[in-house]
Amino acid sequence: MHASPAPDSPRSSHSPPPSGAQGDIELELLALANSLYNMGTTVINDSTKEKDKPGSGKQVALRANEVVHHLGVVDEIAQSTRTMIPFQILSDIDAARNPMHLTKERLERAATENQFMNGKIAGIESYRHILRDALEQNFPELSEHLESPK
């Protein structure tokens, strides 16, 4: 079964996973997400059926076993993986915030603050030039001590 990536995935749906451990973990995480989805739909389907029906909980148990299996494989791969993930990213994911959106927001905020600081610097430079010109005009004897304009 080939599942397509999320709409905000950095890779296109047709690109193969990377080779090595990173590709293995990506495929396993995709399988885990698929198993979790299947378990959720099974629970919803079972909750809408008659509860007295024999064997109705059997499918949920099978789906739960699949999820546990995938979690075990992810844990095995994690033991040999030395990639460090910043704790903030894990906290954001745990709080159901998309790290891609957070990165975009932080970059936009940094760009906005950068523009604001550039405006302040330009204002100070403009004021400095006006002040120097006014000092030179009103106090010509100070002109040799004033910084020349750039």
Q: Is the pLDDT of residue 21 over 60?
A: yes
Q: What is the pLDDT of residues 64-113, one digit of tens each?
A: 999 999 999 988 888 888 878 788 888 888 888 887 888 888 899 999 99
Question: What angle do helix axes 99-138 and 87-94 make, rounded to 10 degrees?
Answer: 120
Residues in contact with 66: Cβ distance below 8 Å, sequence separation at least 6, in sequence order? 35, 38, 39
25's CB contacts (< 8 A; 6+ apart) are: 74, 77, 78, 81
Residue 1 has pLDDT above 60, yes or no: no
Burial class (CB in 10 A: 0-12, 13-18, 19+), 50: exposed
Mean pLDDT, residues 17-21: 75
8: which residues sit within 8 A by CB, 6+ positions away?
Answer: 98, 100, 101
Q: In this structure, are residues 31 and 14 in contact, taking their beta carbons and an 8 Å threshold?
A: no
- How distant, in Å, are the alpha carbons of 53, 128, 143, 144 from that of 140? 101, 17, 5, 8
Residue 118: pLDDT over 90: yes
Would you tell me how many other CB atoms lie within 10 Å of the CB of residue 26? Answer: 14
CA distance 6 to 23: 16
More confident residue, 147 or 94: 94
Average the pLDDT over each of 2-6, 79-83, 125-129, 143-147 and give the range with the smallest value.
2-6
Structure tokens at 134: 């006014």
**Separation CA 5–CA 11 (nearest Å):** 8
Q: For residue 122, what pLDDT band results from cuts at 50, 70 and 90?
A: very high
Which pTM value belongs to this model? Answer: 0.48
